[in-house]
Amino acid sequence: MKLYHGSPNNFDTIHNSQAQAGDCINVPDDELLNAIYLTTNYKFALAIASMPEGAADIDEATRTIKFENSEAFDPEKEVYVYEIDSETIPKENLKKIDELQVAVLNTTELKPTIKHIHKAGDVEKYYEIKK
């Protein structure tokens, strides 16, 4: 199965990082992990990659995104979706976070098999950006 990691950063290796919740956002502590976060949904990974600094509300049901700093959204910015084969990750290291996200635990880095390059504005093919 293919898994994806979206990022505004260009790199050859994906490193784990400590997840954080934005101000006024309640997230259970067991979902704020020091891990590598992946998704099975390519479009969601592109949405994550396209986010400007700050929080965002990505609503899969309505296919909308609301950025905290919408004025910082640059549709011409180059962003990246990294593809990883799930077979390269030990099953015991995968933790389902929600319907869209899995965390890779006990791993400090992953080498993607493919790097897809986009413009941030490509996300508007799949989501409406709310101002």
Residue-wise pLDDT tens digits, 30-73: 556 778 999 999 999 999 999 998 888 899 999 999 998 888 99
Single pTM value for the model: 0.86
> What are the C-alpha distances in Å from 99 to residues 27, 60, 102, 115?
15, 10, 8, 23
User: Residue 79's domain spans which residues?
Assistant: 2-130
Domains contained in the chain, number: 1
- 16 vs 124, residue with greater confidence: 124
CA–CA dist 82, 6 (Å, integer): 6
On the question of pLDDT at 80 being above 90, the answer is: yes
Residue 24, helix vs strand vs coil = coil
